[in-house]
Amino acid sequence: MTREALHPTGNPAVDRPARRYVLGTVAVTGLGVAWWVGYLVTGVGGEAFAYTFVPVAGVIATAAVLHMYRTSDLEPVARRFWRAMIVSPGLMTAGYAWLAVDMLAHAAEAHNRTMPVPAAGLVAAGFVIAIWAVGRVPVVAAGGIEWWRMLLDRTIAFLGCAAVLWYAGLAPMLSAAEPWSRQAMVLVGLAFLVAVGAATKVSYVAGGPVDRAAIRLIAAAGGVTAGLVAVLAVRFGFAATVPVQAFVMPLAPVLTSFGVAAQWRASAGPRGSSGRAGVLLPYLAVAAVDGPLIALAFGAPLRWPARIVLIAAVVVTGLVTARQYLAFRENARLLRNTREQEERLQYEVSHDGLTGLANRALFRDRLAAALSGPEKAAVLLVDLDDFKAVNDLLGHAVGDQLLVAAARLLRAEVGDAGLPVRIGGDEFAVLLTGPGTEPEELAGRLLAALDRPISEHRLLVGASIGIADAGPGASVDSVLRDADVAMYTAKQRGKAGFVRYVDGMGEPVLAHMQLGGELRRALDGDELRVVYQPIVRLADGLAIGVEALVRWHHPVRGVVSPAEFIPAAEQTGLIVPLGRFVLRETCRQAAAWLAEFGPDALLEAGLNVSARQLHDPDFVSDVTAALADSGLPCERLVLEVTESAVLRGQQVSRALYELNRMGIRLALDDFGTGESSLSLLRAFPAAIVKLDRSFVEGIEIDDGMPAAADARQAVARAVIQLANALDLDTVAEGVESAEQAAVLRELGYTRGQGYHLARPMTADAVSVLLAGQQRPHDRALGRML
């Protein structure tokens, strides 16, 4: 402790004065020892001279406190403590100086003279101020049971230490053959109080602002000195007065100066950890109070000092019992909280945070357990249909509420028959075990329940359900794979239904997944080609635009139909890079045609854009880059979107309006097949309407029944009238005969697209077509000139 106090800080302004004051008090004490030896040998100086060492050492210790107080950057609590400690040793030094002067003035009576009452009053006042200063040092913050525990611990420690000091120190002085004066007894008792109070306090002081080592040294200044005084007084009586005054009592200023040095050092550098405050002190105090009891057990006389110790031991025992009761209650509470926390963590680990259903991990554990048992089990995989549209159109908050409502419905329908699970996203599952509910029956009930609106927003949502049996020898992964294949098959069959897995069902799905993998290779391996189907002016048959279409030339399968690989691209997300490839190639080729054949040769070049592409945040920048790199004017590019894609949320709407502001023309493809075609024309910045081929098919039939012919032409007639009213261009798709072209022309359509007019062709074939159209134009122009 003293070594820590004198450990250099590297700051000369702290190290030098701290060491100087410590060495000063040590030197005074050393001189006291040397003088006492000389006094014993030669009688030099007389007994009264012994009283001079305490006030001299006290002056040095008080100066040390004052110097540290003035030069250190102390916090308010520390300043208050050390301000009191300036007054405390100062009063004590004044009291012992009074005593020294009195003894020197009455040197002949020094051996029998007692301490003047005013001098004793000054020293006592110094002790009281020290006790008050120590008592005001803040302890570790605590509340509730912890506050009561700390109070009991401190009381136990105080009573235990006080009982020992009473039995071994103060009581023997009172009953000694040569008892000291009352003043001396009071001062020794106050010194013991300072020692016990400071020792108890320091065990519960947090790591600052009053240094713990400093308080320990203050405690030692009172306790060690008083203890030595008591031992010497009992053992030697009045003969101990000279060594006590010469070098025992000067130890108090020495330890005080060490405490000042410790505080000086702590204020100059970072404080260490406060450690575990007060852990051992109560136990040490209980052990200490047992010492006198052991002495009594071995024959020590039962006098009144021992009776006081017995009373203290009984009180300490009662306090320890109360302390243990509090500890028992606190431990019970901690154990209860720990169990609750473990249960809560276990629940959170095994359940979905949004819906409260079991999660994938618990589902796999239960399924593995079911597969290892003798009972049959089945798995239903439930996927909400078109859930992404809910998130896109209404927001994720509404989507989450829909998931919670779906989970509630699932839990109600399953009941105790199985384990409802949220796998993730919009995918749920049910594990059925035992001979209870049949999977098909449960699937039917779930679909029937979903036929009604759910959630607080009253949304209607369907589900595709795949059922797989968990038979002997199956693994968790194989059962889940079979259920997933069955669910995927249910979606392919039109959604809002259920399918039970049978052997061989996974082969088409696997082929579809393999196709997606091969498509990734095709994008990197230059297997994709862009072909162009001309858009023809119905009046003269001239090609005035093209629509870009993609073809896959597979090295093994040959030409793969778009109807086969486009859905795979949509599901795997490869539609985004595929669409980017078609966009850049179309812009490049259209710009090349304009450069070769002039601005009047081709009015527009269009391509289809999927909803997945429009959701891509980089789509608009991809279009901008393709136009900039190719040099194609914005107004020459047409982007065709379906009605369902337009309804896919705010991101899609923002992208379309931004493209429209750029000057790019937008076309509504397959117009008339959706539920909101007419309203879309007001909300969507369309420039072109493409009449779906289903309204062109059979439009030319003339069976001699005018009413039937009018009915077949009604939609086509309504669309052209609506487009003319809104100043929109029209294109009729799927024109397969001259008769269809003639009827469309009579209805007012000026442009058409279909196999009768022109089949999809390569870029070179389009160049030949444009060149052929340009020659008659050049000849006519030549005749005019």
| C-alpha–C-alpha distance, residues 196 and 127, integer Å | 13
- Tokens in use for 636? 């020459």
Length of the chain: 785
Q: Where are the alpha helices (DSSP H) in 203-246?
A: 212-236, 241-243
- Of 97, 132, 157, 429, which is closest to residue 284 (Cα–Cα)? 157
Give Cα separations from 715 to 194, 643, 672 (angstroms).
105, 17, 8
528 by DSSP, 3-state: which?
strand
Tell me which residue of 106, 488, 160 sits closest to 320, measured CA to CA. 160
Distance from C-alpha of 450 to C-alpha of 463, rounded to nearest angstrom: 8
Alpha-carbon distance 63 to 60, whole Å? 5
Do residues 352 and 422 make contact, with C-beta atoms less than 8 angstroms apart?
yes
Start-to-end CA span in the chain (Å): 116
Strands 427-433 and 528-537: unpaired
8 A C-beta contact, residue 184 and residue 118: no
The total of other beta-carbon atoms located within 10 Å of residue 27's CB is: 14
Q: Which of 506, 544, 556 is nearest to 753 (CA)?
A: 544
142 in Cβ contact with 150 (< 8 Å)? yes
CA distance 252 to 181: 20
| Whether 353 contacts 400, CB under 8 Å | no
Q: Indicate the DSSP class of residue 207.
A: S
Cβ(140)–Cβ(150) under 8 Å? yes
Bridge partners for 418 per DSSP: 432
Looking up tokens 């949502």 gives 461
Backbone angles phi, psi at 140, to 5 degrees: -60, 130
Concatenated DSSP letters of 705-749? -HHHHHHHHHHHHHHHHHHHHTT-EEEEE---SHHHHHHHHHHT-
Report d(CA 371, CA 234) in Å as an integer. Answer: 86
What is the CA angle 360-363-367, rounded to 5? Answer: 140
Structural contact between residues 684 and 654, judged by C-beta atoms closer than 8 angstroms: no
Whole-angstrom distance, CA of residue 268 vs CA of residue 17? 13
Tokens representing residue 378 in the block: 């089945």
476, with CB counted inside 10 A (0-12, 13-18, 19+), is middle
**H-assigned helices in 611-700:** 611-615, 619-630, 643-646, 650-662, 677-683
Strand, coil or helix: 114: coil
Work out whether strand 427-433 and strand 751-753 pair parallel, antiparallel, or are unpaired.
Answer: unpaired
Residue 236 phi/psi, 5-degree rounding, is: -120, -10
759 and 765 Cβ atoms separated by less than 8 Å: no
**Residue 252 and residue 64 in contact, taking contact as beta carbons nearer than 8 Å:** no
Nearest to 615 by CA among 673, 664, 667, 575: 575
CB atoms within 10 A of CB 59: 20
- Residue among 733, 736, 739, 746 flagged as catalytic: 733
Q: Do residues 589 and 535 touch, judged by C-beta distance below 8 A?
A: no
In the residue annotation, 456 being an active-site residue is answered as: no
Catalytic residue numbers?
A: 733
